[in-house]
Amino acid sequence: MNLNNLEILDVLEKNFGLDPKSSKVLIVGLGNTGISVAHYLNKLGFKFAVTDSREKPPLKDVLYNEMPDIPVFTNGFDDAAFKVATHLIVSPGVSMDEKTIHKAIVNGSKTLSDIDLFICSVKAPIIAITGSNGKSTVTTMVGDMATCAGRKVAVGGNLGTPVLDLLEEEAELFVLELSSFQLERAMGLNAVAATILNISADHLDRHVNMANYAKEKQRIFNGDGVMVINIDDPIVNAMQETNRCVFTFSIKRSADFHIDRKNNVEYLMHNNESLMPLSELPLEGRHNAANALAALALGTSIGLDKKAMCEALKKFKGLDHRMQRVAEIQGVTWVNDSKATNIGACIAALEGYDRKIILIAGGDAKGADMSELKPVIEEKAKSVVLMGKDAGLIKQAISNCVPVHLAKNMVEAVQICADIAETGDSVLLSPACASLDQYKNYEDRGNQFSKAVLRLIV
């Protein structure tokens, strides 16, 4: 259900003045998004070049092997490349505040994104999902639900497959995870249903403050589709529009999708209808109940069969590095939540426990106020082990409200936890920080945690 090339070209010219004969496009950033844009433009016959601030972008050789005639400018942003560009397509990893980009815009270059190109190329409905935490889980849940309900669905975006690569699939439904960086440069989004799962401090090094961050997230509600609103989050709840169809969800109170107890059993509910027992959701943490409710609301908004959706939830095993149980060793459970790269994710993970746990945290705080962790750590943690660039900052922020230990690396952190843990304890890696101070990415950090834990068995 995608447009053909002639239809796409017509929409691109109408919406963005993009024409293969006269437009000169500069792709800014040669990562996964950049290479997907290059494939797309090349297929449609556009003239384009690529630039990257890095000396050796990860996909430079791939581009050269597939499109050897495409000009590539690396090791900084060259003014000359920007000067001739009529259009800039800036990858999410590149800040729009770069001086060279700003200068080009002032001089008349138009900007658009891979999301805009995608929207101009599809007929099928789009479900769009964002939030500081849980968006990958909910995106995958909705994709599984649609598949279980017999829909031909394509899932991607910030999660896994770049959106333009999804065009290779003739899907009848697209489920997209979108980050704040993708949303800030996407202009034409009108999803059939969209949600912001939550808003907590993240990427403030790029967005400067919470108001700007929330404003960029709110772009996901552009258009006239169904708004799926978390009424437990005051910032998101305030985004409701009275002239729109709204589905609400909550794990704390009554909502369109909520939790209720009947005959001493907790159920996921749609208004007064019991959908499934909460105990049949195979995920750790109460925040994952909120994720399930959001997914049910999104699926209901497009008419997915409720029985099929619940079957998909019962089979859902979660995603790597997101509240992933690694092992139980001598009565101690070890959980990998390395994807918790911000304060909100760590708080959600801690609040999901009904007993006190041992927490491993730390890394690059990205300018966030780490004192926000203190109340939940005081309530939910029996000890904290800190590591990474901002370990000292976090220690100061939580003011020794519980015993604090410092570790140089993951192996040492795991060993400290093993020494202090007792039978029945859970050790949770939920860093509340980015990983790049010590690791390639959060996956590498999670893998190092798992390896260190499994060495305890030997």
> Within a domain: residue 23?
yes
Q: Looking at residues 181-200, what average pLDDT do you find? A: 92
Q: What is the pLDDT of residue 119?
A: 96
Catalytic, out of 158, 198, 230, 288: 158
Active site residue 135: yes
Catalytic, out of 39, 60, 87, 135: 135
* pTM as predicted: 0.82
Q: In what order do the strands lie in the sheet with 246-249?
A: 153-157, 173-177, 126-130, 193-196, 226-230, 246-249, 257-262, 265-270, 273-277
Q: How far apart are CA 30 and CA 308, in angstroms?
A: 40
What digits encode the pLDDT tens for the residues 224-274? 999 999 999 999 999 999 999 999 999 999 999 999 999 999 999 999 999
Cβ 390 vs Cβ 433: under 8 Å: yes
Q: Looking at residues 181-196, what average pLDDT do you find? A: 92
Q: Final residue of a domain: which of 283, 315, 347?
A: 315
Cβ 12 vs Cβ 86: under 8 Å: no
pLDDT band at 381 (very low <50, low <70, confident <90, very high): very high
Quick one: 140 and 283 in the same domain? yes
Helix, strand, or coil (residue 152): coil
pLDDT higher at 254 or 204? 254
What digits encode the pLDDT tens for the residues 52-99? 999 999 899 999 999 999 999 999 998 889 999 999 999 988 888 889
Burial of 291 (0-12, 13-18, 19+ CB in 10 A): buried
Q: Looking at residues 405-421, what average pLDDT do you find? A: 97
**Rg, Å, the chain Cα set:** 23
Q: Looking at residues 165-187, what average pLDDT do you find? A: 92
CATH number for position 28: 3.40.50.720
Q: Final residue of a domain: which of 88, 112, 136?
A: 112
Quick one: 257 and 350 in the same domain? no
Residue 390 pLDDT greater than 60, yes or no: yes
> Within a domain: residue 118?
no
Residue 1 pLDDT greater than 70, yes or no: no
CATH number for position 402: 3.90.190.20
Q: What is the pLDDT of residue 269?
A: 98
Closest C-alpha to 349, from 204, 440, 341, 368: 341
* Tally of domains within the chain: 3
Catalytic, out of 203, 270, 321, 380: 203
CATH number for position 264: 3.40.1190.10
Q: What is the pLDDT of residue 202?
A: 53
pLDDT band at 44 (very low <50, low <70, confident <90, very high): very high
Domain hosting residue 283, numbered range: 124-315
The structure tokens 């002032």 sit at: 106
Quick one: 162 and 300 in the same domain? yes
Active site residue 4: no
Quick one: 93 and 225 in the same domain? no
> Within a domain: residue 38?
yes
Contact residues for 181 (Cβ-Cβ < 8 A; gap 6+): 92, 93, 203, 206, 216
Active site residue 158: yes
Quick one: 253 and 380 in the same domain? no
Closest C-alpha to 197, from 173, 223, 222, 221: 221
Q: How far apart are CA 384 and CA 386, in angstroms?
A: 6
